[in-house]
Amino acid sequence: MSSSERVSKGWVFAAEWPSAERATLDGRRLESLLTCGGDERIAIDADTGRNRYGSPGGMARDEAWFSSSTATAITPRGYDAAFQAFHSVLEGHDASAIPAWFDRLRARLLALFGTPGSEVVLSGSGTELELVALVVARAVLRQPLTNLVVAPGETGRGVLLAASGRHFLRSAPFRDRVACGEFIEGFEDPETIVESVGIRDQDGMPRSADSIDDDVIRKVEASIAGNRRVLIHLLDCSKTNRSGLRRSTASALMARYKGQALVVVDSCQLRGSPEQVRADLRAGFMVMISGSKFAAGPPFAGALLLPSEILQQLRHLDLPAGLLAYTAAEDWPAALRGRVTRQFAAPDNIGVGLRWEAALAELEKLFALPVPFREAVARAFADAVAAQVRDNPRLALVDEGIGDGPQPGQTIWPIVTPVRDDLSLTSEAVHRALRLPRPDDPLSATSKRIFHVGQPVSIGPRSALRVCLSASQIVDAAGNMAGHRSLETAVAPLMADVDGLFQKWLRIADEVSRRS
């Protein structure tokens, strides 16, 4: 049964219900939809009311979210936008309402990021975009592929599996059980070879841009010499705020191996500008973005932007049969849907649509703000985080002291807590403790609050947590400017949350240190 059928058959409301009761029921149904159309990562645990990333099905109350490199909760603006779409699109009986809604979502994404002739394919997550990009590359290049991934350890845990055309979890949006690690039906032949290039050495130190580019060039040359075509990944921003493969090098490789190599930009963190995304499309690159990282939409929502020159080469799309467990007809624009040679198993993914509604509610407001204001808020946040870490010997910034280390205005700050040798365990323990209220702690009111930061990520022998700024926090600051208030006043609530986060963090670090 399609999402639209489930809505029309199960969610027709009685007019005589009291408005408060109806609103409660509507909210529950909306929250159920917001977490549908995904895999087990998005599932809400019945005991905690949250998914594995700590995000609830609906809004969170009085919690501080600095975790946008991993996932956040839906914002009030996002919730209102999704609620409005729930009522205006899903409660009616017009068969054309849902297709038209997905067309509008793609049009809004193109208005922000697109170039003339570009198109958007939606997906349930950034990792699923790897499958879509692989299908497009196979259709264009028409040869056995090498999929060259940059910094898989700083993108997503399932990226290497998805990049080879394999199931990367135990479930899929439209199939309850799949075999993690096995080929998705239709991706076996010809088999895709996956290679990777790291952006850090074994000690976790950043590699130079020259050395990363040289590795990519050598691997591309070897694949072409072996009669394989290459899909080259360009990493715009990693989990620790680093990039990999310069755009000039990527363009040179595409020009040198025209018809033999394609480039896909991993912009799933979405921490660059719309202008950069458009420049990448004009360069002929595919671009992967997500609405559930910096955009602060609920997890999970992805989109693959396709430039016009790639669309012109897609005469037809023979989707692997197993891909239908991951994609729905309305994920694809009509221009591409008509070239697909296989019947879709699902007509639509309502959850993806609602999650993009929430993300676009933030992104459209963000990019309507003046660039200097956005940059000023990011600088204020960065200065506050850096000062908190540098003033305390229990904390340390990752990449501090290197040539291109922490930058003013950066929005992901990886931080280690060097209180004992087992740093990975320490990061996990701190991460869990920050998300637990401590009502019996008499010394600090902040201990009673819940603080979310980006999940631990391994950096050589160390493990770091990440403190992140999101689009919603910049938009909130803009709202605080009403009445011509100062920037300092506008960011004061954000600064108070930063202070509270580090107060609790240091209390936890002290306790862990005393126990070790």
Each residue's pLDDT tens digit, 273-311: 999 999 999 999 999 999 999 999 999 999 999 999 999
* Same domain (yes/no): 136, 204: yes
Q: How confident is the model at residue 91, as a pLDDT?
A: 76
Domain-located, residue 462: yes
**Alpha carbon distances (Å) from 494 to 135, 290, 381, 401:** 42, 24, 8, 27
Looking at the 3D structure of the chain, how many domains does it have? 2
DSSP state of 463: E
pLDDT, tens only, 9-51: 333 333 333 455 555 667 889 999 999 999 999 999 999 999 9
* Judgement on whether residues 313 and 413 belong to the same structural domain of the protein: no
The answer to the question of residue 433 being in a domain is yes
Q: Name every residue whose Cβ is closer than 8 Å to that of residue 279 and which is 6 or more positions away in sequence.
A: none
Residue 320: inside a domain: yes
The better pLDDT of the pair 500, 511 is held by 500
Q: Which residues of 459-496 are buried (b: 16+ CB within 10 A; e: fewer)?
A: beebbbbbbbbbbbbbbbbbebeeeeeeeeebbeebee
Using DSSP, state whether 355 is helix, strand or coil.
helix
Asked whether residue 15 is domain-assigned, the answer is no
* Domain extent at residue 224: 98-328+350-361
Confidence of residue 440 (pLDDT cuts 50, 70, 90): confident
Indicate the pTM of the whole model: 0.93
d(CA 341, CA 284): 25
Render pLDDT for 441-492 as a digit per residue (tens, 0 to 9).
776 777 789 999 999 999 998 899 999 999 999 999 999 988 778 999 999 9
What contacts 10, CB < 8 A, 6 or more positions away? none
Q: d(Cα 255, Cα 489) in Å, to the nearest integer?
A: 50
Burial of 76 from C-beta contacts in 10 A (0-12 / 13-18 / 19+): exposed
- Is the model's pLDDT at 105 over the cut of 60? yes
d(CA 364, CA 362): 6
| Percent of the chain whose pLDDT exceeds 70 | 92
Residue 206 lies in a domain: yes
CATH number of the domain bearing residue 204: 3.40.640.10
Within 10 angstroms of residue 26's Cβ, the number of other Cβ atoms is: 17
Same domain flag for 148 and 275: yes
Does the pLDDT value for residue 78 go beyond 60? yes
- Asked if residue 39 lies in contact with residue 172, where contact means CB atoms within 8 angstroms, the answer is yes
